[in-house]
Structure 1
Amino acid sequence: MRAFAILLLLILVSCDAEVFVPEEEQLETTSLIHSVVCEDFTNEPDLFDHFFVSAGTPKNHTKYRSPRRIILPINPETGRRYFKRDVVGMATDGHPDLHFVWYKNRRYSAGKSHDLDSSRKPEDFTYILPIDPEGNGQRYTPEDIAGMAIDGTSNWVFTWYKNGFVSAGSPSNLGKHREPQPVTFPTNPRTNSPFKGTQIRAVAIDGRYNRTIMYFKYNYMSEGISHEPGRYADPYCVENRAAGNIEPRHYIGAGIDYTNNHMFFWFRARNSD
């Protein structure tokens, strides 16, 4: 009988029997695991949404400043930072050299080239778009915007649309001064047909001479006026870009300040989404 009792004890010890944990310790252990797994990172910036700014000339994008990493302002509707995909237009005014950003949620901000809401926060400023001449009385939407720029004389905001029109207005009313009018685009050397509004990648207006500089898909740029962007120079290749792997398709926006006539380029890293 004694031998049987010893054998039974050995079996119980060797088995993977469930270990009893008091209820208080169970709750404490569960709480500890939960706090590690569910730590909140929702307000952290998306480090894969790389955003840079450089300064130079229309033909040499880093002549005055090498690319500098920046982050976008906080979206007041989400509490998180805007992503590059939220940006529909960027521009630099002539006085006092503010850099503007317009967003898909119909808000805009303004500030320094690397601090884009240092002067105007997006929670305080909204904008409206003009009526689309081809939209049966409907207004353009932010997604219709192809490029934006501000002239240096009157600080008018020019907006080019994907359907080939351009309007002029203010930061808050994009059609305030001039209703949309058709654009005569220069010829695309690759196809021998005119460029399209959907192929615009960035636009800037020279602060002193009000010359429109437009960058297109396929690494071309032209010079002209708002409704005829190839009047002064037919499309030619972009050289001396911000980096060897940066092309017009990576541009988010551009702008030229009035004080120094420096051209600013905002662009995304090639490996961002």
Structure 2
Amino acid sequence: MDPEAERRYVLSLSCPDTTGIVARIAGFLADAGGWIVEAGYHSDPDTGWFFTRQVVRAGSLPFDADELRSRFAALAAELGGQATWRVTDTGVPKRAVLLVSKEPHCLHDLLGRVTAGELPVQLAAVIGNHDTLGDIVRAHGVPFHHVAFPKAGSGATAGDKAKAFDELRGLVDQHDPDAIVLARFMQILPPQLCTEWAGRAINIHHSFLPSFVGARPYHQAYARGVKLIGATCHYVTADLDAGPIIEQDVIRVDHGDTAVDMVRRGRDAERLVLSRGLRWHLEDRVLVHGNKTVVFH
């Protein structure tokens, strides 16, 4: 199959809802010769907002993605100053940087999926606040960087931790990644980084949020006697474990499961939820509005 035949332009838009938006977008693309191969729509009656994701065969248009952006900007402006939109080109590979600590299961899963061609992304680098996982990363041909964070109780100051985050920021930003994935990265991002990386920083929380936030959620769940455990993939915000949710899943447990059993079984959910959420983000299927998301599967 010719790669150009599979190349797509993905147009996503959110704006105040009104009559005729679908017709105007469809007419705009049809007038340009665009062949729509996928289209999703959502109208939210509570907020009065409209959301759409359109996928067009790149070869059906007589111009490139930059020209499509230029032409669509005029239509988007007519839909109101609050409209947000983007056009991406599947022929331009997305880049991701992974942030890790010591837990290997999410890292192993993502490395395997990328190696197998199951995730549409180039791993630009993996950065760890421990060097434990460096050999695993380098074995996959991906650069690994160790950023040493001060240990709790070591007498380090807030400035020492800020310096570590400055180093982390520099390593990440040099790649200008489309996704910054906290694959069980056991550090809380400072508010400034949450703002700078808004809409790109993705976290996997080993709990079915909003329940059991913070540390050791499986042990919290065990102590509460829950019957369902799960995992949540969400965008990172300055509010701990409270960013817009991309994907969630649950696993049933019972009174015979120990906290260790819950941790082991929960890791399976974490792997799947993170890989799904990352894929949908990379495919521009996730539109954020406030603290909620619209996900076009």
TM-score, with length taken from structure 1:
0.28
More helix by share: 2
More strand by share: 1
TM-score, with length taken from structure 2:
0.26
